[in-house]
Amino acid sequence: MILFLDKLIEFPRTLYVLIITAGAFILFIFINQLVFAPLSALVSTYNVLDFEFAWTAERIAVIFAAWGTAGMEAQALGVYWDFLYIIGYGFFISGCILLVSRILSGKYQKIGLYMMLTPLIAGIFDLIENINLLIMLQNTTTFSPIVPLIASISAVIKFSFLILGIGFFFIALILMVISIIKNRLS
């Protein structure tokens, strides 16, 4: 694993990383604006985050009652789109972390190479979460009580990895700017 991560310092070429990161950003924005924004307007009470963090079958029942059939169908469509969205945010955030990490050196660069994996790990937990959300949406009254718990735990882990990765990116960006300023002043 370490050897693979070390190779990312130079490969793929920065131009390719920029293209992949930009493409992932476009996908991320496209799905956000053209899919998720209109879908969220269809349900006025509970949103997808309420669904992801419901934790119990009883809370899910309240959310489903508020949504009705049309709202549940809209949310199911959103979950299906989320599988593609994972690719968008995963490669966008990972690409940003990699680009900044390549400019850093020493231990910060090494940490950055590991942090580049956090959005991809988050994506794995998003997959687990989505599968459980779909189980609930497709079996509205017969799903196991463990399903909303698994979905919510997966959501917590997903967001934790995303916050960790994004937090590192901004800290690394600040370190990079400080380094550039120091080099220009000396």
Considering the domain boundaries, does residue 186 fall inside one? no
Would residue 141 count as lying in a domain? Answer: yes
Q: Which amino acid is at 119?
A: P
pLDDT at site 175: 87
Q: Is residue 24 part of a domain?
A: yes
Tell whether the model's pLDDT for residue 139 goes beyond 70.
Answer: yes
Q: What's the mean per-residue pLDDT of the chain?
A: 94
Phi-psi region of 11 (alpha: psi -120 to 50; beta: other; left: phi over 0): beta
Rounded to the nearest 5 degrees, what angle is found at the Cα of 3, between the Cα atoms of 120 and 28? 20
185 occurs within a structural domain: no
In a domain, 106, yes or no: yes
1 has pLDDT over 70: no
pLDDT at residue 170 tops 70: yes
Instruction: Read off the pLDDT of each residue in 48-66 and give the average, rounded to a whole number.
Output: 97
Please tell me the distance from the alpha carbon of residue 94 to that of residue 17, in angstroms, as a whole number.
10
Our count of domains for the chain comes to: 1
Q: What are the C-alpha distances in Å from 176 to residues 10, 93, 105, 173, 183?
A: 18, 17, 10, 5, 11
Cα–Cα distance list, 106 to 1, 6, 78, 143 (Å): 18, 12, 42, 50
Does residue 184 form part of some domain? Answer: no
Q: Answer yes or no: is 101 within a domain.
A: yes
C-alpha Rg value of the chain to the nearest Å: 19
2 pLDDT tier (thresholds 50, 70, 90): low
Q: Check pLDDT > 70 for residue 121.
A: yes
Domain residues for the domain of 65 are: 2-179
* pLDDT > 90 fraction of the chain, expressed in percent and rounded: 82
Q: Is residue 114 part of a domain?
A: yes
Report, as an integer, the average pLDDT of 61-86.
Answer: 96
